[in-house]
Amino acid sequence: MSDTTVEFSPAAAALAEELLPAALEIIARYPEGRSRSALLPLLHLVQTEEGHVSPNGVAFCAEVLGINKAQVGAVATFYTMYKRRPTGEYLVSVCTNTLCNVLGGQEVYDELSEHLGVGHDETTADGRITLEHAECLAACDYAPVVTVNYDFAVDQATPETAIGLVDQLRNGERPAPTRGARLCSLKDMQLQLAGFADIRDGAVADGPAGAPTLRGVTLAQEHGVAVADFNPDTPITKTKPSPREENRGRVATVVDKVKGAVSSVTPGHAGKTTRAGDVKDPQTRTAEQRNPDASTPDKTGTADEKKPVPSNPAEAAGTASNQPAGDGKPAGDTARTEEAK
């Protein structure tokens, strides 16, 4: 974990005052030396205050993690759930991906856009609604789908039902979603995404799967298609079950066959098999294959490479204690590389 006594730059100080205890709680969830993995929830935490990730939010994340702003920016600009400009109280996402599209998702989006007078990633003048078209929202069984702040809000949407929803939201109402958790503000949702429980009643969806989700099972039953021994009420296991006793021999035979096929068929690898017990990091193995006798120094991650220049003492202190490893990644990965040698 980064030094908790770090003095924040003026850019990060205001957020640090509000968010430092929660940020440290998030960072403490990660093993020593792996704190930069906390960046994703930290960016959500920043959005609980700002509603988006501003340059000040980037500075705060960089300084609390001891990484540089370029590294934070690379992540914050990669994922669409990190917003780069102020976002409305409700983020309304309309799926226009394949299945939703053929069932009318584009019409829903177009009419909503016209009704609100905003386009993709734009916010209404009253600051209530940000509209976006989204890729698959993982609810194709209910296509076309509209979510509000990432909660399912309108299933099998039509332009009318979607417009009805946003009108209620703009009037200050909290309409009941078709299914799922009750709607909250985008900033409330960011707290959940940062990994903190929302303790309000109805904040977490529960209940059995709906009819569209179970349609495949129902059809199979209607047509007498069944899988022997299948019990639909079997609880989902959290750990990988060991092979059943009667299958142990069969599994071993299949593994042997695959090994044989790989060693005899793979072009250029005839007779070569992967050594059992080879625990080298794949990057180390690749480097050895490229440069077997290490005669040419590997320049990756050396001083020859241009590094981003820290813009304040806190960031400089962080990067100084977070030297790049041989693979060009910051220090969190050094231990892994060393272990693999």
Q: Which residues would be at the binding site for ligand FES (CB under 6 A)?
A: 95, 97-100, 136-137, 139-140, 143, 145
For the range 114-118, what are the long-range contacts, defined as Cβ-Cβ under 8 Å and sequence gap of 24 or more?
115/163, 115/166, 116/166
Is residue 83 within 8 A of residue 51, CB to CB? The reply is yes
Residue 104 or 326: the one with the smaller Cβ distance to ligand FES is 104
Q: How far apart are CA 299 and CA 88, in angstroms?
A: 46
Is residue 204 within 8 A of residue 162, CB to CB? The reply is no
Residue 140 or 331: the one with the smaller Cβ distance to ligand FES is 140
Residue 212 or 326: the one with the smaller Cβ distance to ligand FES is 212
Contacts of residue 300, defined as CB under 8 A and 6 or more positions apart, other chains included, come to 326, 327, 328
Residue 137 or 166: the one with the smaller Cβ distance to ligand FES is 137
Question: Please, what is the minimum distance in Å from the beta carbon of residue 97 to ligand FES?
Answer: 4
Residue 143 or 169: the one with the smaller Cβ distance to ligand FES is 143
CA distances from 170 to 30, 32, 99, 113, 126 (A): 40, 45, 29, 14, 8
Question: Please, what is the minimum distance in Å from the beta carbon of residue 153 to ligand FES?
Answer: 13
Question: Please, what is the minimum distance in Å from the beta carbon of residue 180 to ligand FES?
Answer: 13
Question: Please, what is the minimum distance in Å from the beta carbon of residue 10 to ligand FES?
Answer: 43
Question: Please, what is the minimum distance in Å from the beta carbon of residue 47 to ligand FES?
Answer: 23
